[in-house]
Amino acid sequence: MSGAAPPRRVAVLGVGNMGWPMAARLVGAGFDVAAFDALPDRAARFAGEVGGTAAGSAASAARGADAVITVLPTSKHVGEAIAAMGDALSPGALLIEMSSGVPTATRGFAEALAARGVSTIDAPVSGGVPRARTGELAIIVGGEAADLARADPLLRAMGTTVTHVGGVGAGQAMKALNNLVSAAGFLIGAEALLIGQRFGLDPALMVDVLNASTGMNNSTQKKFAQFVLSRRFDAGFGLDLMVKDLSVALEVGRETATPTPFAALCREMWASAATLLGPGQDHTAMAQFSERLAGETLGGGNRISG
């Protein structure tokens, strides 16, 4: 498939919070976009407000498309969309799976589609809605080099960095594992700050010392002072999304038979926090979970009653 012409007709399945601005970037870059969404009227609104055409079904969107982009909640939805497209996803087409899906599920889709002459790459994104709007997403891609080359013009319209990390599924695995390391760094930071504060240290000063030493990580640099000690808890990445990525990371661990006790506890604690703190939380609210186990608020210095 190397040397194939770049895609011109693009179906985007899922024009929700993320899919909408991503598809809008494609329209803006001159691609012929057919949008579909499970929510009635959503695609029509997109076509009316942004451009392109609204499709009444995934199959109708996919028919004649050079590339189909999925931006859906889970791999289960992606599987259903593939089933719904049926033969409308035709030989020679390229599926670009941009959801935060399960890498092994994506591999399964890719194998099944390959038998029908459809190529697949996975291309999960980071940066949230703001960077989706400005086309500055960070995109991590898994797939064959030739397929990646075909997708490149589309990806460049949506993101500023496109990093190729391996075969199909590798992008989603890498994204989930990155968030695993990030989540662990945040959690241990919260616990360390709580121990220190109860011993009498100032948490803001502790953050500074960590950042000047080997305790430095992304959370000590960009999250604790900004979102926890300030009690703002509005970093812009949801607690539920972090839990989802941690679950994906651990599922890859399970399917590759890789025992990882520390990662497993990390996931369970984040998932526990999501239950205990309730829906709609920013991921930095995870610190409140540690605070409740320890009975003290970071920065405030007040004891929490039981």
Q: Which of residues 164-183 bind its own copies (CB under 8 A)?
A: 165-167, 169-170, 173-174, 177-182
C-beta atoms surrounding 40 within 10 Å = 8
Closest CB to its own copies among residues 117, 278: 278
CB-wise, 34 or 190, nearer to its own copies? Answer: 190
Q: Are 145 and 123 in contact (CB under 8 A)?
A: no
Q: Which contiguous run of DSSP H or E holds residue 247?
A: helix 239-255
Give residues 131-160 in contact with its own copies (rule: CB under 8 A).
138, 140
Binds its own copies by CB under 8 A, chosen from 191, 204, 233, 240:
191
> Which range of residues in 30-38, 68-76, 84-92, 261-269 is near its own copies by CB under 8 A?
261-269
Name which of residues 77 to 136 contact its own copies (CB under 8 A): 103, 126
> Which residues are tagged catalytic?
175
Residue 98 in contact with residue 71, Cβ under 8 Å?
Answer: yes
Task: Give, as ranges, the residues between 225 and 254 that touch its own copies (CB under 8 A).
Answer: 247, 249, 251-254
Three-state secondary-structure class, residue 113: helix
Closest distance to its own copies from the beta carbon of 271 (Å): 4
Residues in the chain: 306
In the complex, the smallest distance separating the C-beta of residue 304 from its own copies, rounded to whole angstroms, is 8
With binding defined as CB under 8 A, does residue 203 bind its own copies? no
The CB-of-306 to its own copies minimum distance in angstroms stands at 2
Which of 114, 217, 154 has its CA nearest to residue 25? 154
- Tell me: does residue 271 bind its own copies (CB under 8 A): yes
Closest CB to its own copies among residues 54, 125? 125
* Vertex 165 angle, CA 162 and 170, to 5°: 110
Among 92, 295, 300, 301, binds its own copies (CB under 8 A): 295
Binding of residue 198 to its own copies (CB under 8 A): yes
Chain centre distance of CA 191: 26
- Between helices 239-255 and 103-114, what is the axis angle to 10°? 70
String of DSSP letters for 14-83: --STTHHHHHHHHHHTT-EEEEE-SSTTHHHHHHHHT-SEE-SSHHHHHTT-SEEEE--SSHHHHHHHHH
Angle formed by the axes of helices 261-277 and 286-294, nearest 10° = 90
Least distance between its own copies and beta carbon 27 (Å): 28
Instruction: Name the minimum Å distance from CB 258 to its own copies.
Output: 5
- Pick the binder of its own copies from 204, 216, 225, 241 (CB under 8 A): 216
- Is 266 one of the binding residues for its own copies (CB under 8 A)? yes
Task: Give the total of residues touching its own copies (CB under 8 A).
Answer: 82
CB of 138 to its own copies, least distance (A): 7
